[in-house]
Amino acid sequence: MIPASFEYKRARSVKAAIELLADGNAKVLSGGHSLVPALKLRLNQPEMLVDIARIASLKGIKVSGKELVIGSTTTHQEIASSDIVKEHLSILAEGAGAIGDVQVRNKGTLGGSLAHADPSADWPALVLVSNAKVVLEGSGGERTLNAADFFTGFFSTALASDEIITEIRFPIPAKGTKSTYQKFVQPASRFALVGCAAMREPSGETRVAFSGVADAAFRDTGIENAISGKTLTAENINHAVSDTAKGQDIMSDHYASEEYRVHLAKVFAKRALMALA
C-alpha cells in the first residue's frame, strides 16, 4: 500500500495544469479517491501528479442560460446538497448522494469520476441520461463532447493525456420532467451493481441509462424507443424492459453473473419507470 515515488505539483490555473501535463508521464489529481488507491496498489505509477483541486475556476455550480453548469472539481457532496441542482436537475443530487459514504462524497469530484470512467460508477449514467456535454481543455484548445461520445469503453474516454475536464454542462429539462436514480449496490464496494437513471419529459420523451451493467455506462435505446410517448402502464413498462441491455458487453463477477446482471437491470428499469409514472 505504498505508492512508487512521484513528484507533486499544485497547479494555480488551468493553463498551468495543461503545461505540466504536456511534459509527459503526469496525471491529474482531483479528489484522489480513485487515483490514490490505484497508486497505492502500484497499478498506476506516474512520475508526476498535477493537483487541480484548488483551481478556483474549476469549482462551482451555476445556471447559465438554459444550462446547469458544474465545474469539474465540484465534489459529490456539493452537488448532492446544492439547492440549485435540486431545483433544476434533482436526479444529479439524488445520484451524487448515493455515491460511497460521506468521506468519499466530500473528496471525490464529478470530473474525476467521469475521467476515471469506472463502468460501475454512478456519474456516467447520470450524465448520459441528462444529455450532458463534457467540456475539455488541452494544449490544442477547448472542445465540447456529448457525454455519449466522451465514454469510449471500459475505463476509457476521449480525454487526451494533456487534457483536463473543465466543466459539465447539463441542459435544464422542461418543467414537469420527472426523473429517478435507482441503485442496487455491490455490497462490498457499494458501487453500482446496477444503477438505472431514468428521465421523462412532459412530451413523453423518455431516457434510460445504466451504470454497472456493461463494460461502460450506456443509454438503453431499446427501452427508450419502446416507452417514449407511451403511457407508463405496468404492461407497457414490462414490454419495454423485456430486452434490457441488449447488445451490450455485460460484466460478470462473483457478486453478479451476466444473467443476474441483466435480470437486475430489467428489475431496476421497471422500478425506475414505475417511479416516473
Footprint of other proteins (CB under 8 A) = 1-2, 4-5, 41-42, 184, 187-189, 254-257, 260, 263-264, 267
Q: Which residues pair with 259 in a beta bridge?
A: none
As measured in angstroms, the least distance from the Cβ of 233 to other proteins is 19
Q: Minimum distance between the CB of residue 218 and other proteins, rounded to whole angstroms?
A: 21
Q: Which does 35 bind (CB under 5 to 8 A by kind): ligand FAD, other proteins, none?
A: ligand FAD
Q: Closest separation between CB of residue 101 and ligand FAD, Å? A: 7
Q: Cell 484548445 sits at which residue?
A: 141
Question: Pick from other proteins, ligand FAD, none: which does 26 bind, CB < 5 to 8 A by kind?
Answer: none
Coil/strand/helix, residue 236? helix
Among ligand FAD, other proteins, none, residue 254 binds (CB under 5-8 Å by kind): other proteins
| DSSP-H helix ranges across 6-136 | 14-22, 35-40, 76-80, 83-88, 90-97, 102-107, 110-116, 123-129
As measured in angstroms, the least distance from the Cβ of 65 to other proteins is 40
- Nearest alpha-carbon partner for 195 in 271, 131, 90: 271
Tracing cell 455506462 back to the chain, one arrives at 217
From the list 39, 36, 3, 12, the residue with the least C-alpha distance to 107 is 36
The contact set with ligand FAD (CB under 6 A) reads 27-35, 52, 72, 99-100, 104, 108-109, 111-113, 115-116, 118, 121-123, 159, 164-165, 190-191
Nearer to other proteins, 41 or 160 (CB): 41
Query: Shortest approach of ligand FAD to residue 45 CB, angstroms?
Result: 13
Smaller CB separation from ligand FAD, 117 or 232: 117
Residue 99 binding result from other proteins, ligand FAD, none, given CB thresholds of 5 to 8 Å by partner type: ligand FAD
Choose the contact partner of 42 out of other proteins, ligand FAD, none; CB within 5 to 8 A by kind.
Answer: other proteins
* CA separation for the pair 261, 277 (Å, rounded): 24
Are 177 and 168 in contact, with CB atoms under 8 Å apart? no
Three-state secondary structure call for residue 140? coil
Residue 160: CB atoms within 10 A of its CB come to 13
Alpha carbons 44 and 212: distance in angstroms, whole number: 23
For residue 193, the SS3 value is strand
Choose among other proteins, ligand FAD, none what residue 30 binds, the Cβ cut-off being 5 to 8 Å by kind.
ligand FAD
Residue 204: CB minimum distance to ligand FAD, A: 30
- Residue closer to ligand FAD by CB (options 15, 246) is 15
Residue 100 or 171 having the CB closest to ligand FAD: 100
Tally of CA atoms within 13 A in the half-sphere of 5 that contains its CB = 0
Return the number of the residue (26 or 232) whose C-beta is nearest ligand FAD. 26
Is the CB of residue 161 less than 8 Å from the CB of residue 44? no
